[in-house]
Structure 1
């Protein structure tokens, strides 16, 4: 049974069943727990961080994690300036998530609008948007962001804007492909037959049906933006010191890796755990929102 002829109640029932099954998955539960902790760290870091992330003490520099040594109050150890690593990781969560979420929002907004227009209008407009997508995809995203930030200087608004601009082509291409399918369905043809305006058809009837794909794409783009932000901070082109960021912590800690492995390992572990949790949730969201699940029952 095709999607356009499927019973809407059956589709919703199938999605509800998949959602319940996903919520029982240990991997999804663990991922949700990680995301909740990350959001708490981003929203109220002062309630979670045990110490001041900016407080320096050369007497305590490069101390090992206290959960291994059994001494001191620095649970994950201290960096080269004696600052608490755990507290800096907690405060770095706010910076990383804020930049990455803002960049994903910009990318989704631009990519969705251009993908909708390209897929529905077709013709010259579609060709021009496709050429713009191809041209930008031919240039690696990380090199584009590095080139612009190196030329214009590192600033948070510029970093967010460039990351968002660099990520829209992937979203636009997927949305365009979805629109090419949805625009031929019966309910769109019926709206066109009764004289609905192109804008109403596009944004009232077609856009809601591609929103699920945008949501799934946004979760994967968020992981990619987190990694890009960490890379730029590692290279010194992201948020500037003394503001704690995971990438900058890894960069600073690598110089003292022989004396204190914790300075680089724990921020790197935070990046890995965050990306893994978001990707797992993205897979779960995809399974719930994918319309083809309605055909497999």
Structure 2
């Protein structure tokens, strides 16, 4: 019997990180879009899980609690989707708190640099956030838009916030191997997020991917609008070679990005395998009691 009714979208953000809608609105809009399952995956944060879970039960869809964990190789960001882990796991809590603090310090430094050339203050950025949100570059982009320095968030990233403009500032994040280890030790299931955004030549090398697979990597998010076509071909080859599962999702941010809920989806059998490997948390099914 099919456990999941409707399409499955395993990557969506709320205002807890850099989405424009609350966790409740995220789930409500997922239901209105016809999804049967949605994952809440805010950057380095889980504080939206409770509200999203309540709304999922109310509107009758399945929720997969998760997070998009920041990791990096040298100065290159490697985002990792983490699903159904224990949010109270001490090691993961310590690491995500460190990442969020580094994001905040980084954002303040970027604003300080931009303010030399543009009318922009830290208060402008805070005005674009919600209480306890993980502050990041998207909020700076929204502040630039509000100040009239860019027409929208995408243009802000392509212009003022592009690294070539000289305002960029890296921030701390663990190595991907440490990310996989932390997620697995918290009972969760790790998937590399949009690993093909820079084309096939920049796809993770096979030898490095093999190490992550040995560490416990579950899959690759291949069906994503920002993955380049040639990269998708290479990633599917690697997934088959190493026995990795393939996921698809929207990476929805509300009005913060053009991405639409359900524009890419994950096969039900892949989600079943993911759930079977998780020991840290359970999906929130429409007819399930509170966790």
Q: TM-score, normalised by structure 1?
A: 0.23
Q: Which has the higher strand share?
A: 2
Please, what TM-score do these two structures have when normalized by structure 2? 0.24
The structure whose Rg is larger is 1
